[in-house]
Structure 1
Amino acid sequence: MKVETTFWLTLVLAVLVGITALTIFTASLQVPLIIQMAPWLIARGTGVTAYLLLTWLVVVGMVLASAPNRERWRKSAWLFPLHRVLAVFLLAFVVLHISSILLDRYAHIGLLGAFVPGFAGYRPLPVLLGTISLYLMIVVGVTARFPRILPSGKWLTIHRLSLITFVLVFFHGIFTGSDTPELQMMYELSGGLVLVAAFLRYAFVRRRFQVTRQKQQEIS
């Protein structure tokens, strides 16, 4: 394993453990029956952590693909291992999130509700957003891991669905969680971060397109 990958793996793991523990502890302060509500607490903690992982994953991905990084910063050797580590941890925490919510007898989501959009007994529309985002993550992840199963360059087009996935998860978290007011600042900061990153990413793309077009016009 490369030194960069080991470094990012250790750092991300430490941060994730801290975020999950803090989220569960904060949520437990509002729940009198902690033992009975343990699956919900774990589901909420792992869900918040997965959301933050997705936030970092999308932002790092946009920085990786940006023109400044490719032409001037050249930090891909550091950022790509981080991007990959974040993806692995995201998968792990999504699995933990779904598993714990299935064990929660108070949530009334069930196996069908978790994997079939619209069948959840608890807040079906927000849960539906989470289910759709799950399948989008699977498609994006599989095509990124095995790009050769698609025609040349098509995996990148599918990879851009990550931004749509983030939007779905964003609203899934806001409207599913009963403790959303306590996490309002987190949603505002993370949503703003992705919005700024997306704006800058596509602003650079547009600027580059305009420069290229201008040069072509000058040549012709």
Structure 2
Amino acid sequence: MTALALTGSPLWYAGRAGGTLALILLTATVVLGIASGGRAAPRRIGRFEIGLLHRDLSLLTLVFLTVHVVTVVLDPFAHLGWAVSVVPFGASYRPLWLGLGTAAVDLLLAVLVTSALRVRLGVRRWKAVHRLAYAAWPLALFHAAGTGTDTRLPLQLWLYAGCLASVVAAVWWRLAKAGPGRLTGRLVAAAAATAVPVALTVFLAAGPLQPGWSARAATATLLLGGGR
């Protein structure tokens, strides 16, 4: 049984739709950022046009992320407060998986703020913070898989698989086009592109796809949320 059957609230529909669209747009943003960087940048399209598309996708991601956060907090099913949207792992409902989503939101907010202060920070510092968007993506993916009450639906699983395959393919494309140097960075990227699919597959098989996942998540709520 899903939360859809439990609540029937329009806020639940809006929250899930906003979160799903935010994940898709974040995936597209990350894929574009990875695949168009360095020597992998396409020659037929100018960097200015790529930059505009990247910015527009980022803004759309934030719009639907805002919709997701607001509607989830307003939905009476989970009884969440506004502090949960910025303070990770403080929720009484599935705190671990909600905390991953909050951490992803905080990272994206850091990217947004530093982008507004790009001139004052300088390009080097701004790029260092901007890379946090790459870390936000796997957090958002595991948040969706662990918290989403529709994770077991085939369509949702295919959506997660598509997002995962797109980012992994972009990473390997970038590595294939990379020139010499920065060996450490390439090794880290290759390790992450291998570890994330394995970790997500194992997690899904042992967690949300198994019977009783909601009960186990509730148990984790009592342990991590202080028995609230």
TM-score category, normalised to shorter length: 0.7 to 0.9
Stretches of structure 1 that go unaligned for 5 or more consecutive residues are: 1-26, 211-220
Following TM superposition, by how much is the alpha carbon of 1:84 offset from its aligned partner in structure 2, in angstroms? Answer: 1.2
* Cα distance, 1:153–1:43 mapped onto 2, change above 3 Å: same
3-state DSSP of counterpart to 1:100: helix
Note if 1:185 corresponds to 2:158. Answer: yes
| Contact 1:113/1:121 (8 A) holds in 2 | no
| Contact 2:7/2:77 (8 A) holds in 1 | no
Q: Following superposition of structure 1 onto structure 2, how do residues 136-175 of structure 1 map, counting pairs within 5 Å?
A: 136-175=107-146
Deviations 1:186-218 (A, max 9, x none): 10111111011122224433x3438xxxxxxxx
Instruction: Find the counterpart in structure 2 of residue 47 from structure 1.
Output: 19
Following TM superposition, by how much is the alpha carbon of 1:150 offset from its aligned partner in structure 2, in angstroms? Answer: 1.7
Following TM superposition, by how much is the alpha carbon of 1:32 offset from its aligned partner in structure 2, in angstroms? Answer: 7.4
Instruction: Find the counterpart in structure 1 of residue 63 from structure 2.
Output: 92
Q: Following superposition of structure 1 onto structure 2, how do residues 61-210 of structure 1 map, counting pairs within 5 Å?
A: 61-69=33-41, 72-182=43-153, 183-205=156-178, 207-209=179-181
Deviations 1:49-95 (A, max 9, x none): 0010100011111223131326x344424322211111111111111
Deviations 1:129-171 (A, max 9, x none): 0111111001112223431232442211221221111010010
3-state DSSP of counterpart to 1:137: helix
Instruction: Find the counterpart in structure 2 of residue 21 from structure 1.
Output: none
Instruction: State the TM-score, normalized to the length of structure 1.
Output: 0.74
Answer 1 or 2: higher relative contact order, Cα 8 Å, separation at least 6. Answer: 2
Structure having the higher Rg: 1
| Contact 1:46/1:97 (8 A) holds in 2 | yes
Q: Give me the whole-angstrom Cα distance separating, in 1, the residues matched to 2:47 and 2:18.
A: 28
Instruction: Find the counterpart in structure 2 of residue 31 from structure 1.
Output: 5
Tell me which protein shows more helix as a share of its residues. Answer: 1
* Cα distance, 1:32–1:125 mapped onto 2, change above 3 Å: closer
Q: Give me the whole-angstrom Cα distance separating, in 2, the residues matched to 1:110 and 1:187.
A: 27
* Cα distance, 1:152–1:53 mapped onto 2, change above 3 Å: closer
Q: Give me the whole-angstrom Cα distance separating, in 1, the residues matched to 2:73 and 2:146.
A: 18
| Contact 1:170/1:187 (8 A) holds in 2 | yes
Deviations 1:96-147 (A, max 9, x none): 1111011111112222333221211211000000111111001112223431
**How many residues of Structure 1 are paired with residues of Structure 2 in the alignment?**
179
Stretches of structure 2 that go unaligned for 5 or more consecutive residues are: 183-228
- Cα RMSD after superposing both structures: 2.2
| Contact 1:47/1:94 (8 A) holds in 2 | yes
Q: Give me the whole-angstrom Cα distance separating, in 1, the residues matched to 2:52 and 2:141.
A: 25
Instruction: State the TM-score, normalized to the length of structure 2.
Output: 0.71
Q: In percent, how many aligned pairs have the same letter?
A: 30
